Amino acid sequence: MDERAVETGAVTGGVKILLRLEGLTLFIGMVMLYAAWGGSWLVFALLFFVPDLSFLAYLSDARFGAMVYNAAHSYMAPVTLLTLGFGFASPLTLSIALIWLAHIGIDRALGYGLKYSAGFGFTHLGRIGRQTDA
């Protein structure tokens, strides 16, 4: 077992690679479904970065920022929307869900994981951003 992973709460090695590949798979899958669905690429472009508005919660403090960011970057809400979109045959709901899941997928593929309250750079996929020796 990697002791560093236990200390930091972040995955390492093959598990980290697998989680990032899952993110890439999610991104590619959602973009392909969106294309097959015939969704508007203008809508896709306009909504793709909307989950990142959750960064603004960090203006309050790191704990609240992490909570809001994680709510906007977990699978729960977009999968619920996806289910409702299919269940009620709602094209807009389905489009939003596919775009939201694509966003989460590319974030995870790039290493932007769910945040810890220690700060924006502390994620379940490891540290992000510039590292400084204190």
Inform me whether the pLDDT recorded for 5 exceeds 80: no
Q: Domain of residue 47: give its range.
A: 3-127
The answer to whether residue 134 is domain-embedded is no
Of 45, 46, 115, the C-alpha closest to 74 is 115
More confident residue, 103 or 123: 103
Averaged confidence pLDDT in the chain: 90
Q: Where on the phi/psi map is residue 126: left (φ > 0), alpha (ψ -120 to 50), or beta?
A: left
- Tell me how many domains the chain contains: 1
Identify the band that residue 1 occupies on the pLDDT scale cut at 50, 70 and 90.
Answer: very low
Q: For 87-120, how does the pLDDT look when each residue is reduced to its tens digit (9 = 90+)?
A: 999 999 999 999 999 999 999 999 999 999 988 8
Whether 51 is covered by a domain: the verdict is yes
Please say whether the dihedral angle defined by the alpha carbons of residues 61, 118, 130 and 134, taken in this order, is positive or negative: positive
- With cut-offs at 50, 70 and 90, classify the pLDDT of residue 4: low
Q: Does residue 78 carry a pLDDT above 60? A: yes
Residue 9 is assigned to a structural domain of this protein: yes
Confidence of residue 131 (pLDDT cuts 50, 70, 90): low
Q: How many CB atoms lie within 10 A of CB 101?
A: 23
Three-state SS sequence of 53-102: HHHHHHHCCHHHHHHHHHHHCCCHHHHHHHHHHHHCCCHHHHHHHHHHHH
pLDDT of residue 9: 65
Q: Which of 96, 79, 90 is nearest to 43 (CA)?
A: 96
Whether residue 133 is contained in a domain is answered as: no
Query: Does 132 reside within a domain?
Result: no
